[in-house]
Amino acid sequence: MEVLESIESVFQLVVQYGILMMECVGVIILLTTAVKSIWGILAHDKSVRLTLAKGIALALEFKLGGEVLRTVIVREWSELAILGAIIVLRGALTFLIHWEIKTEEASLK
């Protein structure tokens, strides 16, 4: 029984570090994209909206991955409901951003 508790403890630790890593990568991508976009605005780059939308979409994918990982260690239904709502909202945002990317790419051609 103690071995199973140890394995569960290690598993939770690995998942928590995975969540932290996914969240950090998402934030880094978002900040990098913001800086590139500001630079693009200053340089009068016409594709700055497309660059920003792609960066936000990629950052959201990493954040969504972190939320999916978080579902592994959830213990209560109320937590699962909150995570489900977050996943649905981030999924909807990702869908809308991908739609905007397609629209922006079409307008640049």
Per-residue pLDDT of the chain in tens (109 residues, 90 and over written 9): 788 888 889 999 999 999 999 999 999 999 999 999 999 999 999 889 999 999 999 999 999 899 889 888 888 888 888 888 988 988 898 889 989 889 888 887 7
- pLDDT score recorded for residue 87: 85
- pLDDT score recorded for residue 22: 96
Give residue 16's domain range: 2-108
- pLDDT score recorded for residue 55: 95
How far is residue 19's CA from residue 25's CA, in Å, rounded to a whole number? Answer: 10
- pLDDT score recorded for residue 40: 95
Contacts from 104-107 at CB under 8 Å and sequence distance 24+?
A: 104/47, 104/49, 104/50, 104/53, 105/50
In the chain, the number of structural domains is 1
